[in-house]
Structure 1
Amino acid sequence: MMEKKRKSVKAGGVLIGNGAPISVQSMTNTDTHDKKMTIAQVRELEKAGCDIVRLAVPDLDAVETIREIKKEEIRVPIVADIHFDYRIAIACAEAGVDKVRINPGNIGSRERVAEVVAACRERSIPIRIGVNGGSLEKNILEKYGAPTAEALAESAMGHVRILEDLNFDDIVISIKSSNVGTMIEANRLLYKMTNYPLHIGVTEAGTPHIGLLKNAVGIGSLLCDGIGDTIRISLTADPLLEVREGRALLSAIGLDRRNMIDLVSCPTCGRTKIDLIRLAERFESDYLPELHPSRPLKVALMGCAVNGPGEAREADIGIAGGNGEALLFKNGAVVAKYDEKVILDVLRDEINMM
């Protein structure tokens, strides 16, 4: 991975950038005016493992929900997503929000931006600059002819300079595009241009079927190069799915410090005499949440003795299927043989003792 020291900012209790754990974000899809529904969804997202939750705040009335959330026993940082009206940003800062998402270029005059900056600086609230293809300034679109990677990066840096001219540098930047290639290229450019933390994701990615693939390619490519400090997998779906898949993506790359289990399993073939597909699905859904090993472990679920413990010898522990039974192995050596019906319980107990 490429390594580059980045500036860090703090949103509530979550550090973003400069080597901090990659944080997973999502956004509520309730009507923010509905305090009860919004607070309930924030709690669900927090429980699911969301590190930072963003709320759309369309008007001053919606700010009251921010105030109510801050009265609750909710520890997940709250980001206020604001467009056009600088007064909403100031009110959210006064209400105790943990981060503000704006585009300084569309929030009003320099004087109004200065008021927002002053409100955030006074309370140590970072500002996230959010740029996407649909929000580009007219002059930049005319210059590049389309929302290219270069256009997005130039727009983002223009917004950054507005804040820097006001001596404010508690900044997170996000450049998003629905085009995966453009999103990747734009963030690579931005990474070279600045040391501010980057929020990455593919916007308007679509339904889970295609949206997860787009985000895995876009976010995953950048993270594998050390680019990106906080992520959101945007989907036309329940926000809880965004969180689960965000954590799964980090885990797949080896970046989720919450997940101590690296699960591998074979695709099955004609040698498989055990219902490995069902076992793997059960293990992932019913057993993984119960696992609390004291150190990171690689766990293998293999269909036959050819794949495990042979090909899975690097796993710390695993099973290899037989005819209605399975071998339990550790560090490439067979430990014992168990009936297929009990093997997952045995595997769980062994992992929790490691």
Structure 2
Amino acid sequence: MSSIRPWRTIERRQSRQIMVGNVAVGGDAPISVQTMTNTPTEDVGATLDQIRRCEDAGADIIRVSCPTAESTEHFDRITKAAKVPIVADIHFHYKRALEAADKGAACLRINPGNIGDSKRVAEVVRAAKANGCAIRIGVNAGSLEKDLLEKYGEPCPEALIESALDHIKLLQDHDFHEYKVAVKASDVFLAVAAYHGLAEAVDCPLHLGITEAGGLIGGTVKSSIGLGSLLWAGIGDTIRVSLSAEPEREVKVGFEILKALGLRTRGVRVVSCPSCSRQGFDVIRTVEALEARLEHIKTPMSLSVLGCVVNGPGEARETDIGITGGGAGKHMVYLSGVTDHHVQSDDMLDHIVRLVEEKAALIEAGEASAFDPHAGPQAANQREAAE
């Protein structure tokens, strides 16, 4: 069979590229994953603690609310301490945008039409240009302009797109072009239709999101359907999964969506069965434990965990490391898709974690070939230790 698989190919929409701090957004840059803090921004310590957890989860960009003068007073302490670009979320008060730009914001989330007359827009644009800030226009179905609601009668794709184009024009009238745009809605159909229409109308990067998606499970499902369908169509340059959950969870779900589509790889991609009475070990509990213990692995690799030999060997052939359940508490371990050695149930978790950590270290050192099961001494030592 040919190694070329056209049915896996996603052709991304061609957008121009902007910079959010040191992160490229749009063009051929990797699709970035964002989240947003939920601590009071004036509590710098708590906000930075949350930012650290999001950074550890892999966040490329983090948004922080700036609704008051108190929230921007020490904003520079946050932007200086953060390892990733910080977006200042501004809704109505243009002075917060000026303050955040002066204190290190990499991007301002603002709708130019919401902050007053053209003079205020001009001030924000000057501050953004002076400080190298990008701007993210954030249209939301829940806060559409009154005149658009009167015109269309209800939130609809045409209303969201018109709102976005109106805000874009305000920036372009002031010769500002370092912007990205979102047209979010909680309704999956509405959001997807709006993004498709906007993608045809503009060439700027698009920030994807299904807003107010819900809790961890429901919100993950809604976001996966909405964002997944858009990304599959090649639309989207940066994403945020909006969950009523801790922000680092949003980051993890975002990466899982991108990993499922082959758009980004980070950490361990686990292939596992739903389990049945044929299982040779407790698959559910094993996968839960492995996911928890392998969270620290950032190196891309794949791990298959299958409870029996029905589909196990086939799945294991496609992954870097695999295990299939066997009888009498003795299970087969696969390395690089090849059967290699057995491991007993009592040693299985520690053994698999050790194999993944070793593989990650070898990949990072540029020595992945040393993990080849046919390489000799190392494979033999692993077999001897396991058996």
TM-score bin (small chain): over 0.9
Alpha-carbon shift at residue 43 of structure 1 (Å): 2.3
Partner of residue 277 from structure 1, selected from 269, 275, 284? 284
Task: Provide Cα deviations, 1:136-173, integer angstroms capped at 9, x if missing partner.
Answer: 12222122211101110111011111111111100010
The aligned counterpart of 2:349 is 344
Q: Quick one: distance in 2 between partners of 1:87 and 1:288?
A: 40
Alpha-carbon shift at residue 291 of structure 1 (Å): 7.2
Q: 2:59 aligned with 1:50, yes or no?
A: yes
Q: Quick one: distance in 2 between partners of 1:24 and 1:38?
A: 19
Q: 2:32 aligned with 1:28, yes or no?
A: no
Q: How does 1:1-354 map to 2 (within 5 A)?
A: 1-72=10-81, 74-259=82-267, 261-287=268-294, 289-290=296-297, 292=299, 296-323=300-327, 324-351=329-356, 352-353=358-359, 354=371
Q: Quick one: distance in 2 between partners of 1:112 and 1:92?
A: 15
Structure-2 change in CA distance of 1:257 and 1:141 (3 Å): same
Percent identity of equivalent pairs: 44
Q: Quick one: distance in 1 between partners of 2:144 and 2:14?
A: 28
TM-score by length of structure 2 reads 0.85
Structure-2 change in CA distance of 1:58 and 1:6 (3 Å): same
Q: Quick one: distance in 1 between partners of 2:128 and 2:278?
A: 62
Alpha-carbon shift at residue 127 of structure 1 (Å): 0.5
Q: Quick one: distance in 1 between partners of 2:24 and 2:115?
A: 26
Runs (5+) with no aligned partner, structure 2? 1-9, 360-370, 372-387
Alpha-carbon shift at residue 202 of structure 1 (Å): 1.0
Structure-2 change in CA distance of 1:290 and 1:71 (3 Å): closer
Alpha-carbon shift at residue 201 of structure 1 (Å): 0.8
Contact 1:200 1:232 in 2 (8 A): yes
Contact 1:140 1:151 in 2 (8 A): yes
Alpha-carbon shift at residue 97 of structure 1 (Å): 0.9
Alpha-carbon shift at residue 53 of structure 1 (Å): 1.2
Contact 2:55 2:84 in 1 (8 A): yes
Q: Quick one: distance in 2 between partners of 1:217 and 1:223?
A: 10
| Aligned Cα root-mean-square deviation (Å) | 1.8
Structure-2 change in CA distance of 1:310 and 1:129 (3 Å): closer
Contact 2:80 2:104 in 1 (8 A): no
**Secondary structure, counterpart of 1:120 in structure 2:** helix
TM-score by length of structure 1 reads 0.93
Structure-2 change in CA distance of 1:42 and 1:288 (3 Å): closer
Aligned length: 349
Greater shift after overlay, 267-276 or 75-84?
A: 267-276
Q: Quick one: distance in 2 between partners of 1:79 and 1:263?
A: 32
Structure-2 change in CA distance of 1:4 and 1:71 (3 Å): closer
**Secondary structure, counterpart of 2:319 in structure 1:** coil
Q: Quick one: distance in 2 between partners of 1:99 and 1:82?
A: 10
Contact 2:18 2:178 in 1 (8 A): yes
Contact 1:175 1:186 in 2 (8 A): yes
Task: Provide Cα deviations, 1:257-301, integer angstroms capped at 9, x if missing partner.
Answer: 333x33211122232222222222211111353474xxx543211
**Secondary structure, counterpart of 2:50 in structure 1:** helix
Q: Quick one: distance in 1 between partners of 2:355 and 2:247?
A: 34
Contact 1:201 1:219 in 2 (8 A): yes
Q: Quick one: distance in 1 between partners of 2:56 and 2:304?
A: 27
Alpha-carbon shift at residue 175 of structure 1 (Å): 0.8
**Secondary structure, counterpart of 1:254 in structure 2:** coil
**Secondary structure, counterpart of 2:296 in structure 1:** helix
**Secondary structure, counterpart of 2:323 in structure 1:** strand
Structure-2 change in CA distance of 1:280 and 1:168 (3 Å): same
Q: Quick one: distance in 1 between partners of 2:167 and 2:321?
A: 51
Alpha-carbon shift at residue 343 of structure 1 (Å): 2.6
Task: Provide Cα deviations, 1:294-324, integer angstroms capped at 9, x if missing partner.
Answer: xx54321111112121354323331110121
Runs (5+) with no aligned partner, structure 1? none
Structure-2 change in CA distance of 1:91 and 1:217 (3 Å): same
Structure-2 change in CA distance of 1:297 and 1:70 (3 Å): closer
Q: Which amino acid aligns with 2:304?
A: A
Contact 2:79 2:85 in 1 (8 A): no
Structure-2 change in CA distance of 1:347 and 1:93 (3 Å): same
